[in-house]
Chains A and B, each alone.
Chain A
Amino acid sequence: EVHLVESGGGLVQPGGSLRLSCAASGFTFSSYAMCWVRQAPGKGLEWVSGISDSDRGDNRYYSDSVKGRYIISRDDSKNTLYLQMNSLRAEDTAMYYCAKSSLGVDIWSPPDSWGQGTLVTVSS
């Protein structure tokens, strides 16, 4: 069974940084593209970032709202996905979900498994 567990969320001041982690199990992590999706309190879903599998050079993709501030990465030896978030703003406050691509290395396939999320609050 696929299991994704996010961690690293919390309260941070504007301008600060956080690193989220997503521990994966139940599938061959290195063979799947992964992504982060966030949801502000009471709002809809927003795709944030995605990363292809390592064999394809860890191609990384970002939404315009986080480009230049967030860095997605993966460590296949630890079955873990990361999201380094810098220069955080109030509007980054959200539940952050990691999710697994449904079709292996294809980042253009929709995610079919999601973690429970980790809450990031940006406030002074």
Chain B
Amino acid sequence: DIVMTQSPDFLAVSLGERATINCKSSQSVLYSSNNKHYVAWYQQKPGQRPKLLIAWASTRASGVPDRFSGGGSGTDFTLTISSLQAEDVAVYYCQQHYNIPFTFGPGTKVDIK
């Protein structure tokens, strides 16, 4: 199975400041036929279902604010919140959707400093 790791485990950022979460896959998740990295990012607020933020490493899902962006290549990926808002307090997970089983990272908890 592909192992997904995330850092940091916990991140406290001041309102309006940038938050960056890192995700690393144990092997390449690049599908050469379409040159896409099969990495997704989800946001899960306390007591709520997960919400898809980013697919294919950098494609924002419908309705997701543009302060959320995804990037990276190879085996290293990032989720950036350009200006943290109070409603962004949540746990963020990366996931590879390249090989079954589609494994998740352990999550990064983001809070307000």
Chain A contacts to B: CB under 8 angstroms? 35, 37, 44-47, 50, 61-64, 97, 102, 108-112, 114-117
Within 8 Å by CB of B49, from A61, A63, A64, A114, lies: A114
- Please measure, in the bound complex, the distance between the C-alpha atom of A124 and the C-alpha atom of B59, giving whole angstroms: 45
Chain B, residues 90-103, CB within 8 Å of chain A (1/0): the string is: 00010101101111
Could you tell me if B55 and A114 are in contact, using CB atoms closer than 8 angstroms? Answer: no
- Please measure, in the bound complex, the distance between the C-alpha atom of A33 and the C-alpha atom of B25, giving whole angstroms: 24
CB within 8 Å of A: which B37-71 residues? 38, 40, 42, 44, 49-52, 55, 61-62
- Chain B contact residues: over half helix, strand or loop, or mixed? loop
Whether A47 touches B104, Cβ cut-off 8 Å, given contacts A64-B1, A102-B61, is yes
Given A112-B62, A114-B51, A117-B49, 5 more pairs with CB closer than 8 A: A45-B44, A45-B50, A46-B104, A61-B100, A97-B49
Could you tell me if B1 and A110 are in contact, using CB atoms closer than 8 angstroms? Answer: no
Total A-B contacts with CB atoms under 8 angstroms apart: 55
CB within 8 Å of A: which B1-19 residues? 1
Could you tell me if A110 and B95 are in contact, using CB atoms closer than 8 angstroms? Answer: yes
Whether B72 is near chain A, meaning CB under 8 Å from some CB there, is: no
Q: List 15 A-B contacts (CB under 8 A).
A: A45-B44, A45-B95, A47-B101, A47-B102, A61-B101, A64-B101, A97-B49, A97-B50, A110-B55, A110-B97, A110-B102, A111-B52, A112-B52, A112-B55, A114-B50
Most chain-A CB neighbours within 10 Å: which of B40, B62, B93? Answer: B40
Could you tell me if A109 and B49 are in contact, using CB atoms closer than 8 angstroms? Answer: no
- Please measure, in the bound complex, the distance between the C-alpha atom of A57 and the C-alpha atom of B100, giving whole angstroms: 18
Could you tell me if B104 and A110 are in contact, using CB atoms closer than 8 angstroms? Answer: no
Could you tell me if A108 and B98 are in contact, using CB atoms closer than 8 angstroms? Answer: yes
Could you tell me if B38 and A108 are in contact, using CB atoms closer than 8 angstroms? Answer: yes
Within 8 Å by CB of A45, from B1, B42, B62, lies: B42
Closest to B107 in A: A44
Could you tell me if B52 and A45 are in contact, using CB atoms closer than 8 angstroms? Answer: no
Could you tell me if B61 and A112 are in contact, using CB atoms closer than 8 angstroms? Answer: yes
Could you tell me if A45 and B61 are in contact, using CB atoms closer than 8 angstroms? Answer: no
Could you tell me if A109 and B100 are in contact, using CB atoms closer than 8 angstroms? Answer: no
